[in-house]
Amino acid sequence: MNATEERPAPDEGLVAQIALDLELCKVCGICVELCPEDVYDRDKLGYPLVARADDCTSCLLCELHCPDFAIEVQRRARKTPAKGAAATPEAIAEAQSGRVKAALAGGPDNDERPVTGSDCGRHGGGDD
């Protein structure tokens, strides 16, 4: 029996959220080891299987680290927000309108640091 006969068909074990291309996979096991949610199991030849697709958080660790580009993780649709949550950009802006976003720090007007090669009007500029 050769390895091709025992290997699962490319469509077997796939879930719409995680697409595995077992023709590209070289059985390195990086996806199995890196998955923080333990989504993958291995078949008897070591190929990854999506065993717990509902546990996938779409963190993309497996997709980004797969050296064979054999994994594609599709992002889940956003869930509807809870009642009263600031869901629209306008509602979020309104909810955060009173918050300080940044503070500008100005230097003293008598900043005597040498500046050369600059077209800065404040510091005079000059030739390099």
CATH number of the domain where residue 42 is located: 3.30.70.20
Q: Quick check: is 26 in a domain?
A: yes
Residue 97 binned pLDDT confidence (cut-offs 50, 70, 90): confident
Task: Tell me which of 6-10, 100-104, 110-114 is least confident.
Answer: 6-10
Taking the C-alpha atoms of residue 89 and residue 87, their distance in angstroms, rounded to an integer, is 7
Q: Which is more confident, 97 or 51? A: 51
User: In this structure, is residue 9 part of a structural domain?
Assistant: yes
Q: How confident is the model at residue 10, as a pLDDT?
A: 43
Residue 81 CA neighbour count, 13 Å, CB half: 9
Nearest to 18 by CA among 65, 68, 55: 55
3-state secondary structure of 56: coil
Evaluate if residue 27 carries a pLDDT over 90: yes
Q: Residue 35 domain-assigned? A: yes
Tell me: the pLDDT tens digits for 44-91?
A: 999 999 999 988 988 999 999 999 999 999 876 665 666 666 567 777
pLDDT at 38 over 80: yes
pLDDT averaged over the chain?
74
Look at residue 29 and tell me if it is in a domain. Answer: yes
Helix ranges (H only) for 40-122 are 61-65, 89-95
Alpha helices in the chain (DSSP H): 3-6, 30-34, 61-65, 89-95
Provide the pLDDT for residue 20. 94
Q: Residue 50 sits in which domain range?
A: 3-73
Q: Where does the pLDDT of residue 39 fall: very low under 50, low under 70, confident under 90, or very high at 90 and above?
A: very high
Q: How far is the C-alpha of 18 from the C-alpha of 24, rounded, in Å? A: 15
Instruction: Say what the pLDDT of residue 114 is.
Output: 60
For the chain, what is the domain count? Answer: 1
